Structure 1
């Protein structure tokens, strides 16, 4: 079906597309706006499994059910209904903008000549993504820097995915793996584990959460070296900790870094100041870098020492500006 052929109606009859993130799947974790958007919709469009998750909220409405790989068809159906003057709830599990329907919908809209001034209004209703839901069930694994990577190679070349995995593993991110495995895609999680083991300890904590907050929810704590022994499927999300992540009493926790500044009695460590960057933060590191260079360390020496690109080190040393005169107070928690 070609979205370009869809006629633009009189503005007074134009409808609305609401891209609704329904959260992990349990009605208790839907936002009030998500529930209201579905309630005001004339038409509900979505993947058949997601439609089932909101079955109690769509009685009496026109429902358009689509299959797993029919994302563009869902978006086209939503646009056609909105062009006909209807309010449409196009639903995604989790958040519509995180591996959800927001991207495909905007692609279809732009192809059809839509702009923000178009009579058809578009609203994105955010929801808790799988990584939020899974993290809440297993402790606090995402309280420091993290990223999400999808292992689905249906639309993304594997070398691109592999480079992202390698970069995230090397940079010590906590990583959430979406779409880790399916009936046909069984090798991707094996390759992901192989890449991570190049950079992470074998005993790095990992957890597999399946169907978070749904009827068949399961949680399996494991380690990176035993990850592929777990029961992993399309309804699973995999969380892999960083070098500081630990598991205690069944809870997976990634420290925020307070131990770098405060001792066990919560007193500021020597050389550190409350509300200020660490002594090894940017300004302190720049001072140390210049001092080391003055002592005769080469760019390549420093690049190896800090595991940073040599051209970055060189550019930093070549910058003659001193930067901020003083480190200002930081309001971050």
Structure 2
């Protein structure tokens, strides 16, 4: 990849650990003069990029953070905007591209990262190995009524579901509300589920449980929740959503081969 002036890289940094960043993300950060992002994400970068100009804005100042990127690019600096997980999954990529219409001399490159759905799934086992959807329970930018409709539709479609932003101090009961909606639309209380806290960071915690147990569980904002579909199972402590292979037939063939 060629790193040029007035080019802004919107970088998905994965969970934050360097070992879980793509090489493309590391290359872009190393080539940048300025790294801009939410303070928590900047802290996760550690010492490797401490020599860069590091700039941040508080929560709810995302637009200002994006404009800062364009201003720094106009100063002739190479700029990287960092996002946790993937920049295009509840990240800054869309806002950067929207605002980029006002800065036609800046070229924006989106660099993918490992999002919580895939990194958390790997910790739990294989919970999204078939059709799945991702729904955020944060109603900061999305009305709760719309979130409800999406939960109901996912339940009716028998999707495996990944819930981002399941809880916060102001939304302490949102996970329970979501579980209730799913059960109202046909998901049974014994549905196989799981959740992972602090994915890819210190003190990672993974738990498998049923939907009935999940709805009475307290989680934090660093948790990603996985709800299986009707074919999902907890196998040896791992949450597994079946792909549809004929496991019994495979077993019979193996047994037949051994007998021969």
TM-score past 0.5 threshold = yes
Deviates more, 1:95-104 or 1:227-236: 227-236
Match 1:53 to one of 44, 65, 80: 44
In structure 1, C-alpha distance between the alignment counterparts of 2:90 and 2:248, rounded to whole Å: 37
In structure 2, C-alpha distance between the alignment counterparts of 1:223 and 1:235, rounded to whole Å: 20
Match 1:79 to one of 66, 70, 76: 70
Match 1:161 to one of 147, 166, 169: 147
Correspondence for 1:254:
241
Match 2:131 to one of 126, 145, 168: 145
Q: Runs (4+) of structure 1 moved beyond 2 Å? A: 228-231, 259-267
Aligned CA-pair RMSD: 1.8
In structure 2, C-alpha distance between the alignment counterparts of 1:21 and 1:201, rounded to whole Å: 35
> Could you tell me whether the CA contact under 8 Å between 1:208 and 1:230 is conserved in 2?
no
In structure 1, C-alpha distance between the alignment counterparts of 2:208 and 2:81, rounded to whole Å: 34
> Could you tell me whether the CA contact under 8 Å between 1:14 and 1:119 is conserved in 2?
no
User: Where do 5+ consecutive residues of structure 2 fail to align?
Assistant: 255-260
> Could you tell me whether the CA contact under 8 Å between 1:152 and 1:179 is conserved in 2?
yes
User: Where do 5+ consecutive residues of structure 1 fail to align?
Assistant: 1-12, 268-333
In structure 1, C-alpha distance between the alignment counterparts of 2:20 and 2:189, rounded to whole Å: 34
Give the number of equivalent residue pairs: 250
- Correspondence 1:90-105 to 2 at 5 A: 90-105=81-96
In structure 2, C-alpha distance between the alignment counterparts of 1:40 and 1:237, rounded to whole Å: 32
**TM-score under structure 1 normalisation?**
0.72
Whose radius of gyration is greater, 1 or 2? 1
Query: In 2 relative to 1, CA 260–162 (structure 1 residues): closer, same or farther, beyond 3 Å?
Result: farther
Give 1:259 shift.
Answer: 2.7
Q: Partner of 1:207: helix, strand, or coil?
A: strand
Give 1:214 shift.
Answer: 0.4
Give 1:55 shift.
Answer: 2.2
Q: Partner of 1:66: helix, strand, or coil?
A: coil
**TM-score under structure 2 normalisation?**
0.91
Give 1:263 shift.
Answer: 6.0
Q: Partner of 2:246: helix, strand, or coil?
A: helix
Correspondence for 1:180:
166
> Could you tell me whether the CA contact under 8 Å between 2:10 and 2:109 is conserved in 1?
yes
Q: Partner of 1:208: helix, strand, or coil?
A: strand
Give 1:262 shift.
Answer: 4.9
Give 1:265 shift.
Answer: 2.7
Give 1:108 shift.
Answer: 1.8
Match 1:41 to one of 28, 32, 42: 32
